Structure 1
Amino acid sequence: MAVDVGGTTMKGGLVGRDGALLYVERRVTPRAEGPERVIAAISAFVTDLSRPRSVGLDGGVLEPVAVGLAVPGLVTATHAVFSAAFGWRDVPVEAFTQVSLPVALGHDVRSAGEAELAYGTGSDVRTGSTGSDTRSGAGDVLYLPIGTGIAGAVVLSGSLYGGAAGWAGQIGHIPVWPDGVRCACGQRGCLAAYASASAIASRCGEDSAADVVARVTAGDARAVAVWNEAVEALSLALATYTLLLDPALVVIGGGLSLAGDTLIAPLRDRLPTLLTFRHPPALRVSALGVHAGLLGAGLLGWRAQEDHL
């Protein structure tokens, strides 16, 4: 079983050992109702997914063997330590599930980054190949999903890097404009306050970033201004990251990646101007799209099952 908890939507399903998505279901994340309600909704989702079900034309019945949970914020193997999106603190993994199966808890973006390495756009970093890029650092990648929030999975020499406490990659809370708008984390001017899908939609008075993209395409002045500011914030953050860690590849994922060239083209234009003495990294859209987190949660579940044997 795999559950990927997002600020707007929870994706749950059954994932085969080979990464095949055997069943997928989506539910609304009730974050407006408070952290306890979100925890209860995750637990109920896990319980429902744990029931045997027929999948496929052959009518075979699948029974889950383990649970993988991918959640945002600061996460350890035993606790969801903090989430600005949900307002929870120090939630033990046991609170998220009532089923008697092995369970693994992980960070949503790092888990999605693992899936991207295993199955998606970043899978070629294991062989040191990233398309046309032939530099020796081809195994250095930033996976950056942009949805309700923004965080990054840092890949160094083909392996995920967690940092001293396992919390590396919180690029969404790097201040791009220190005197800017207030972020949900309490700081001002964070990248996520300008360039997350939720921030872009909110600043344009829309329900989704997709509506803003439609307005940008139509030439709406307000939408274009908000979009350009988001691209500028992303460009500044990516330039800083590039100068520090020199990635060969940046993979853009999450819901905002569905904007395609409306997002990628201006990023490709702007980033080189902020890196005056070096070439920018290659930019790509995730091959796994919105399912990266779910597949990453599946990897967590299989790891829990293997550790239990």
Structure 2
Amino acid sequence: MPRLVAALDVGGTSVKAAVYEPVPGGLRQVSGLRRPTARGGDPARAVADQAGKLIRELTESAGPLAAAGVVVPGIVDEHAGVARFSANLGWRDAPLRELLADRAGVPVAFGHDVTAGGLAEYRIGAARGFTDAAFVPVGTGIAAALILGGRPHRAGGRAGELGHLDVGHDLVCGCGAIGCLEAVASAAALARRYTDRSGRAADGAREVMAAAANGDPDAVAVLDDAVAALGDGLRQLVTLLAPEVVVFGGGLFGAGEGLLERVRRRTAERLTFQRMPELRRAELGDEAGCLGAGLLAADLVGVSS
């Protein structure tokens, strides 16, 4: 039986794809490629068609595959094999696992991109060695992959919406609610709020963080709000689920320990009886989702290290 597995991480703008070989302690990349995400009148079929072509391309370059893992964004019900909703990709209740199975030519593991990233960080990244963990990528939005008792907690794709906890402000979120963490602490929110406050356009959250480090009062205020909101959101997460470790991903936390240390202090200040989790930066970068898809594929057919 072949030991190689394919992995596809489908994003709103591009697809990351790779072939991995399971090795002791993780996965070794054999080959990889990126392509713009396919679009079409039926977006689910367009993505499934593209996935089938990419899997064939990877087979031609790397050799026979045991299985493939495909992960997508949005609300995903892995148990049913259905992508319930994705604003970026434009589908609703798409039977993606069935569509992929018809095109892949190998067994397909289908999953959610953030959950797959969390699984990778849990098994081969910053959360390895823990039993209960949360992986929190902070980007355009804020989500959480929850690993409880060593197993992903999904609730039909509805669990882990950390970005929509109410942290007590009066801003309207893109979801329509008021007070959501995502509306003040996502990378997109930092840039947007700085532009609104200062009248000067910010080219992303890192520019705001750099301005804050240089003493820009508007940037300092916006970053202070984000840190306070993240600490308050973590307090709610810790109170309900008590993860041993919280791993932060996304470019916002990739620049160094400074922001993480501020969030750590804010969280500790807000706890009374709750267990303070270990807070760590992600180790796997933007490859986490693809690695997680590879792990799902290997698990599906029992190909292990």
**Structure 1-normalised TM-score?**
0.79
Cα separation, 1, equivalents of 2:278 and 2:203:
31
Structure 1 89/67 Cα, relative in aligned 2: closer, same or farther at 3 Å? same
Matches within 5 A, 1:109-128: 109-125=114-130
Matches within 5 A, 1:97-176: 98-125=103-130, 139-163=131-155, 165-176=156-167
Residue equivalent to 1:136: none
Residue equivalent to 1:281: 277
Worse-superposed segment, 174-183 or 232-241: 174-183
Cα separation, 2, equivalents of 1:201 and 1:219:
16
Quote the offset at 1:52 in angstroms: 4.4
1:124-166 Cα distance to aligned partner (Å, 9 max, x none): 12xxxxxxxxxxxxx2222212223222122223332233x35
Q: How many residue pairs are counted as aligned between the two chains?
A: 285
Cα separation, 2, equivalents of 1:262 and 1:36:
44
Q: Answer yes or no: is the 8 Å Cα contact 1:252–1:286 preserved in 2.
A: yes
Cα separation, 1, equivalents of 2:157 and 2:208:
34
Cα separation, 1, equivalents of 2:100 and 2:139:
22
Cα separation, 2, equivalents of 1:28 and 1:218:
37
Quote the offset at 1:305 in angstroms: 4.1
Quote the offset at 1:39 in angstroms: 6.3
Residue equivalent to 1:47: 53
Worse-superposed segment, 41-50 or 195-204: 41-50
Q: Does the residue aligned with 1:14 lie in a helix, a strand or coil?
A: strand
Structure 1 229/12 Cα, relative in aligned 2: closer, same or farther at 3 Å? farther
- Which letter maps to 2:19? L
Structure 1 197/14 Cα, relative in aligned 2: closer, same or farther at 3 Å? farther
- Match for 1:203 among 171, 175, 193? 193
Gaps of 5+ in 2: 1-5, 195-200
1:58-106 Cα distance to aligned partner (Å, 9 max, x none): xxx4344432111222212311101344442111114568432322211
Q: Answer yes or no: is the 8 Å Cα contact 1:14–1:22 preserved in 2.
A: yes
Q: Does the residue aligned with 1:118 lie in a helix, a strand or coil?
A: helix
Q: Does 1:192 align with 2:200?
A: no
Q: Answer yes or no: is the 8 Å Cα contact 2:43–2:90 preserved in 1.
A: no
Residue equivalent to 1:135: none
Q: Answer yes or no: is the 8 Å Cα contact 2:44–2:94 preserved in 1.
A: no
Quote the offset at 1:274 in angstroms: 1.0
Cα separation, 1, equivalents of 2:220 and 2:301:
48
The CA RMSD over aligned residues, in Å, is 2.9
Q: Answer yes or no: is the 8 Å Cα contact 1:3–1:46 preserved in 2.
A: no
Structure 1 16/222 Cα, relative in aligned 2: closer, same or farther at 3 Å? farther
1:280-306 Cα distance to aligned partner (Å, 9 max, x none): 222111122222111111122223445
Q: Answer yes or no: is the 8 Å Cα contact 1:50–1:64 preserved in 2.
A: no
Cα separation, 2, equivalents of 1:28 and 1:262:
34
Q: Does 1:214 align with 2:222?
A: no
* Percent identity of paired positions between Structure 1 and Structure 2: 40
Residue equivalent to 1:79: 82
Worse-superposed segment, 288-297 or 91-100: 91-100
- Match for 2:30 among 7, 18, 22? 22
Quote the offset at 1:113 in angstroms: 1.6
Cα separation, 1, equivalents of 2:40 and 2:169:
29
Q: Answer yes or no: is the 8 Å Cα contact 2:238–2:275 preserved in 1.
A: no
Quote the offset at 1:40 in angstroms: 2.8
**Structure 2-normalised TM-score?**
0.80
Quote the offset at 1:248 in angstroms: 2.0
Cα separation, 1, equivalents of 2:243 and 2:298:
29
Quote the offset at 1:277 in angstroms: 4.1
- Match for 1:241 among 224, 237, 243? 237
Quote the offset at 1:16 in angstroms: 2.0
Residue equivalent to 1:303: 299
Cα separation, 2, equivalents of 1:64 and 1:220:
53
Q: Answer yes or no: is the 8 Å Cα contact 1:12–1:45 preserved in 2.
A: no
- Which letter maps to 2:191? A
Structure 1 123/233 Cα, relative in aligned 2: closer, same or farther at 3 Å? same
Cα separation, 2, equivalents of 1:49 and 1:215:
44
